[in-house]
Amino acid sequence: MVLLHIFVVAETRSNKIIDHSLLKETSKVSGVVSSSGEINQTRRNITVGDSLFAETTSNNNSSTWVVSPLGHFAFGFLPLEDSNHFLLCIWYAKIPDKTVVWYANGDSPAPKGSKVELIDDDGLVLTAPNGEQLWKTKSLDGKVQQGFLKDNGNFVLLNENHQGAWETFKHPKDTLLPSQTLEKGERLSSRFLESNYSEGRFEMLLQMDGILSIHALNSPSAYANENYYESRTEESNTSSPGTRLVFEPSGYVYVLRKNSEKYNLSTWSGASTDQSYFRATLNFDGVFTLYQHSKSLLGSDGWSAIWSQPDNICLSRLATEGSGVCGFNSVCTLGSNQRPSCQCPKWYSLVDPNDPYGSCKPDFIQGCAEDELIGKEDIAEYDFEMLINTDWPLSDYVLLKPFTEEQCKQSCLEDCMCAVTIYKSGNDCFKKKLPLSNGRVDVGLNGAKTFIKVRKDNSSLVVPQAKVNENSKSSLSLVAWVLFGSSSFLNVMLIAALCMSLFFIFQYKKKHRGIGKSENALETNLRCFGYEELERATNDFQKELGRGSFGVVYEGVINIGSEIPIAVKKLNTLLFQQVEIEFKNELHVIGLTHHKNLVRLIGYCEAEKERLLVYEYMSNGTLASLIFNKVKPEWKLRLEIAFGVARGLAYLHEECITQIIHCDIKPQNILLDEYYNVRISDFGLAKLLKMNQSRTNTAIRGTKGYVALEWFKNMPITAKVDVFSYGVLLLEIICCRRNVEMDLEEEEKGILTDWACDCYSRGTFDPLVKDDKEALDDKRNMKKLMMISLWCIQEDPSLRPTMRKVTQMLEGVVEVQPPPFPSQFSRHSQNP
Ligand SMILES: *[C@@H]1O[C@H](CO)[C@@H](O)[C@H](O)[C@H]1NC(C)=O
Ligand SMILES: *[C@@H]1O[C@H](CO)[C@@H](O)[C@H](O)[C@H]1NC(C)=O
Ligand SMILES: *[C@@H]1O[C@H](CO)[C@@H](O)[C@H](O)[C@H]1NC(C)=O
Ligand SMILES: *[C@@H]1O[C@H](CO)[C@@H](O)[C@H](O)[C@H]1NC(C)=O
């Protein structure tokens, strides 16, 4: 077995080496220049002359200009998906997904280096580096003096008289915040797609007649289609008209009537704001939703929808002038959370592949002119795709009745206008023509059959080469017909289209051949990258995430099907031999694993003199940065993390084909993804053991403070060394401090493991978590974790539980017995 030949050169690491792999370093937010020229990290308010440049920072990509007094909201630039353009916007500053609540320049993304400035006559002015004005505030009231962001998310400009000159709450985009109102004539407009802030397809308006309505807009004239949602707050004999939409701080949303009555948008009427953020957003797909997000973000599930309007947008009122919720020829299906999804029928595809909510076009040639070219006898060229309960209610042009299903299909086949036919109630045959609008799945159709007419050989203008080679005389003749049977202008167009499609097929093949070749180079599921490719992905190794003993880790984005953020570890080739070993080791070890608590290696690069490893990017950095922080993370989250590490290790030890000992478990090597899930990383020092070989002799690996005694005592090394390190780590997670802290006043507390043993012999663990109310409130679990930890750091490896046992103890499947008192010998041995 090849894997066993991998031996790692002895290396004793000192605690000082922070081997953090994909560690995310915090660095200063740059680019904020105040009028006096000083550089500030964040500010509470801005005055005339202040400006901010749009640029990425290694912190979190965002350039923050101002934050609200309690830090709930931030105002500044966030990068758009392409990371080269920026959005001037307001977002929640305390939760990890930077949800945008207001934005300025959705239609004109700001290139890197753009500048926003506060000017007395113009308010906020956003200018591109080439001097082009991208956006500025409109309808200012007076000369502006300063601006600040309130804790409710409202950015306010004040004039010389210290009165409001302009505020974002009066110019909402797609989101309302608690304490914000929508007055008559005011509107929300959706963005185009979740991460495309251009003008969207839907609008919510408090009409002058007091009705709150939502409707689609027909681009680009913005003509409003029929409302698909309306509040019943019209003026009439029996009802008082609506005057404004109110969003109370409790999250309660209603239309206030003239007679002070409230018209509820939902039966839900609010909750405590101390615990939660609320926002009401007109989503890009036309659904107006109230969202809630826990303010204690750690362990939170993100935004959850409390209610939405309308209940089923797919079945809402039909739009005679537009395409409906989805594009033309598309079908709307209601997903979870009352949100629609749009799908093209089979043999139809998106007109704009980047817009899944847009229109679909047939992939085949269809129409009366084409049918005529082919000739009547070729009607057999068509076939039907059948769907159930799918309808485009406004696209009928003929109703045949009474009719049988067979007659219905035949009639559509013979009719060059017919694109779809629906057969209902065993009697009714509706023929429909293109473009089909308001497509929907509706169980209310009671099993109606929808037949979509498609060309049998699905030949289209883009003739796949394979088809031509195989046999299909008909598709060739079709092309010939179309080419020679139409005008010369059309011919030119068609030939151009053919050439282009051949070109693309060629390009596609070329590209795919490349991938095929590299993929079978090494591990089966790992990808082999070219050096230049990674150079591009990391923008020439620009943004450093951290450094380890073997190399530097950089941030990047790579496009493999879709764009994914990556962390690239560039091994230091000056230490070439060691690097080669670390490289091979990491590749082989991670290549063998697949577990949700282990970091995933995406691929590698083996260039002449360079060795690189490509991992998925972990946005929340290392466990070390989380727990060795002034603010203790929530107790519940810490428990989750302790579980996660244990599960990951149990998997490495027991569930892989080859047992894997990590050998370097410490908080710097535990990474956290965007949801704070644990991902164990840095397998450079790991050892592989065959199933029947459970011990090994080897030189010392790992990091002082976390290494077990057997390394020093020339004892066989087993998976129990990881158990020891886990014990130390667990104590650190419970206490949120480093195992070894030399500069403490009380020397007895200098080494956490020793102090924990002392506490244990004195019968109480409380001093260890003295200031940690959450831990003290959960004493039973706290004690359990302490005891598990003490079991793990037993001097005698055979006394330490297996990681499997540890997970069972954590889960409460196995009772935790009181551990033996660690002997004097084992203590202090960690302390040279
Ligand atoms: C804005 O900040 C300056 C100094 O940072 C302070 O003197 C001033 O009172 C602040 N203005 C407001 C409205 O908070
Ligand atoms: C930084 O930008 C990249 C590329 O746009 C993105 O994938 C990544 O998630 C961003 N990081 C943070 C912390 O927002
Ligand atoms: C957003 O969508 C609009 C409309 O399709 C498109 O013109 C624009 O390029 C898109 N913007 C981005 C950043 O993709
Ligand atoms: C259409 O073409 C694809 C291959 O491009 C083939 O797999 C499929 O069977 C064809 N469909 C019909 C209806 O001929």
Give first-to-last CA distance, the chain, whole Å: 38
Asked if the model's pLDDT at residue 519 lies above 50, the reply is no
**Ligand 3 contact, 108 CB (< 6 A):** no
The proportion of the chain whose per-residue pLDDT surpasses 90, expressed as a percent, equals 44
Query: Do 548 and 682 touch, CB atoms closer than 8 A?
Result: yes
**Ligand 2 contact, 619 CB (< 6 A):** yes
Tokens for 292?
Answer: 């809630």
Which pLDDT value is given to residue 373?
Answer: 61
Beta strand ranges found along 480-594 (DSSP E): 527-528, 544-548, 551-560, 562-571
Same domain flag for 120 and 53: yes
**Mean pLDDT of the region 769-787:** 90
pLDDT in tens, 615-644: 888 888 889 989 998 888 999 999 999 999
Asked if the model's pLDDT at residue 180 lies above 80, the reply is yes
Does the residue 745 lie in any domain?
Answer: yes
Same domain flag for 293 and 161: no
**Ligand 1 contact, 148 CB (< 6 A):** yes
Does the residue 554 lie in any domain?
Answer: no
Which pLDDT value is given to residue 581?
Answer: 73
Top mutation candidate among 86, 196, 352, 355 for ligand 3, by most atoms within 8 Å of CB:
196
Q: Taking the alpha carbons of 136, 140, 143, 145 in that order, is the dihedral positive or negative?
A: negative
Residue 632 to residues 628, 756, 775, Cα–Cα distance (Å): 8, 19, 11
**Ligand 1 contact, 135 CB (< 6 A):** no
Asked if the model's pLDDT at residue 471 lies above 70, the reply is no
Describe the chain by its helix, strand, coil percentages, rounded to 5.
25, 30, 45
Same domain flag for 79 and 189: no
pLDDT in tens, 721-739: 899 999 999 999 999 998 8
Does the residue 35 lie in any domain?
Answer: yes
Does the residue 326 lie in any domain?
Answer: no
Q: What are phi and psi of 173, to 5 degrees?
A: -105, -100
Per the structure, the count of domains in the chain is: 3
Separation between Cα atoms, residue 357 and residue 369, nearest integer Å: 30
The band of 358, judged by pLDDT with boundaries at 50, 70 and 90, is: very high
Which pLDDT value is given to residue 205?
Answer: 96
Tokens for 448?
Answer: 């109606």
Does the residue 285 lie in any domain?
Answer: yes
pLDDT in tens, 128-149: 999 999 999 998 888 999 999 9
* 570 among annotated binding-site residues: yes
Q: Write the DSSP assignment of 95-147 as a string of letters.
A: SSS--EEEES-SSSPEETT-EEEEETTTEEEEE-TTS-EEEE--S--S-EEEE
Same domain flag for 165 and 176: no
Top mutation candidate among 192, 199, 201, 202 for ligand 3, by most atoms within 8 Å of CB:
192
The proportion of the chain whose per-residue pLDDT surpasses 70, expressed as a percent, equals 79
Q: Write the DSSP assignment of 582-614 as a string of letters.
A: HHHHHHHHHHH---TTBPPEEEEEE-SS-EEEE
State CA 469 to chain mean position distance: 43
Does the annotation count 777 as an active-site position? Answer: no
Nearest to 345 by CA among 311, 387, 304: 387
The single residue of 50, 174, 285, 664 carrying the catalytic annotation is 664
pTM, entire model: 0.56
The band of 295, judged by pLDDT with boundaries at 50, 70 and 90, is: confident
The burial of 293, by beta-carbon neighbours within 10 Å (0-12 exposed, 13-18 middle, 19 or more buried), is given as buried
Distance 83 CA to ligand 3 centre (A): 14
Phi-psi category of 113—alpha, beta or left, where left has phi over 0 and alpha has psi -120 to 50?
A: left
Asked if the model's pLDDT at residue 284 lies above 80, the reply is yes
Q: Which amino acid appears at position 616 of this protein?
A: E
Same domain flag for 692 and 784: yes
Asked if the model's pLDDT at residue 769 lies above 60, the reply is yes
Asked if the model's pLDDT at residue 69 lies above 70, the reply is yes
Q: What are phi and psi of 120, to 5 degrees?
A: -60, -40
Which pLDDT value is given to residue 504?
Answer: 44
Which pLDDT value is given to residue 58?
Answer: 57
Q: Looking at 233-247, 533-547, 684-698, which range is the least confident one? A: 684-698
Same domain flag for 115 and 76: yes
**Ligand 3 contact, 197 CB (< 6 A):** no
Domain boundary at 140, 170, 200, which? 170
Does the residue 181 lie in any domain?
Answer: yes
Q: Which ligand has an atom closest to residue 66 CA?
A: 1
259: domain CATH number is: 2.90.10.10
pLDDT in tens, 818-829: 888 766 444 444
Which pLDDT value is given to residue 309?
Answer: 93
Same domain flag for 39 and 99: yes
Same domain flag for 722 and 825: yes
pLDDT in tens, 579-597: 777 777 777 777 767 788 8
Count of all residues that appear for the chain in the document: 832
**Mean pLDDT of the region 337-345:** 91
Same domain flag for 255 and 135: no
Q: Tell the residue nearest (CA) to atom 4 of ligand 2.
A: 83
Does the residue 374 lie in any domain?
Answer: no
Domain boundary at 170, 189, 221, which? 170
Which pLDDT value is given to residue 473?
Answer: 34
Which residues are within 8 A (CB) of 264 and not within 5 positions of it... i.e. 6 or more apart?
253, 254
728: domain CATH number is: 1.10.510.10
Top mutation candidate among 46, 146, 157 for ligand 1, by most atoms within 8 Å of CB:
146
Domain of 37, in residue numbers? 1-170
Same domain flag for 196 and 152: no
Asked if the model's pLDDT at residue 496 lies above 70, the reply is no
**Antiparallel, parallel or unpaired: β 63-67 and 51-53:** unpaired
Rank 104-118, 486-500, 650-664, 809-823 by mean pLDDT and report only the highest.
104-118
Does the residue 602 lie in any domain?
Answer: no
What is the residue-averaged pLDDT of the chain? 80
The band of 376, judged by pLDDT with boundaries at 50, 70 and 90, is: low
**Mean pLDDT of the region 365-392:** 75
Which residues are within 8 A (CB) of 652 and not within 5 positions of it... i.e. 6 or more apart?
593, 595, 598, 659, 660, 661, 662, 680, 722, 803
How many other CB atoms are there within 10 angstroms of residue 525's CB atom? 11
The burial of 320, by beta-carbon neighbours within 10 Å (0-12 exposed, 13-18 middle, 19 or more buried), is given as exposed
Separation between Cα atoms, residue 664 and residue 526, nearest integer Å: 23
Q: Write the DSSP assignment of 734-746 as a string of letters.
A: HHTS-SB-TT-SS
Separation between Cα atoms, residue 507 and residue 499, nearest integer Å: 12
The band of 53, judged by pLDDT with boundaries at 50, 70 and 90, is: very high
The band of 36, judged by pLDDT with boundaries at 50, 70 and 90, is: very low
Same domain flag for 249 and 100: no
Which pLDDT value is given to residue 549?
Answer: 58
Domain boundary at 261, 276, 311, which? 311
Same domain flag for 163 and 214: no
**Ligand 1 contact, 50 CB (< 6 A):** no
Which pLDDT value is given to residue 494?
Answer: 40
Angle at 710 between CA 709 and CA 716, to 5 degrees: 170
Query: Do 258 and 240 touch, CB atoms closer than 8 A?
Result: yes
Q: Taking the alpha carbons of 265, 266, 267, 268 in that order, is the dihedral positive or negative?
A: negative
The burial of 776, by beta-carbon neighbours within 10 Å (0-12 exposed, 13-18 middle, 19 or more buried), is given as middle
Which pLDDT value is given to residue 147?
Answer: 95
